[in-house]
Amino acid sequence: MLFSPVETSLAAVLPCFRIYNEVGDYIVKNQVKDINPYQSWIDKYGGDEFKESVIKAIAICDEFAEKSFFKEEMTDAFLYSSRMEWMFWDSAYRMETWPV
73 is annotated as an active-site residue: no
The residue type found at 15 is P
Cα distances (angstroms) measured from residue 34 to each of 3, 27, 30, 39, 87: 46, 13, 12, 9, 28
61 is annotated as an active-site residue: no
The active-site residue, picked from 16, 52, 73, 96, is 16
Q: How far apart are the first and last CA of the chain?
A: 30
The active-site residue, picked from 61, 72, 85, 96, is 85
**Residues with catalytic function:** 16, 85
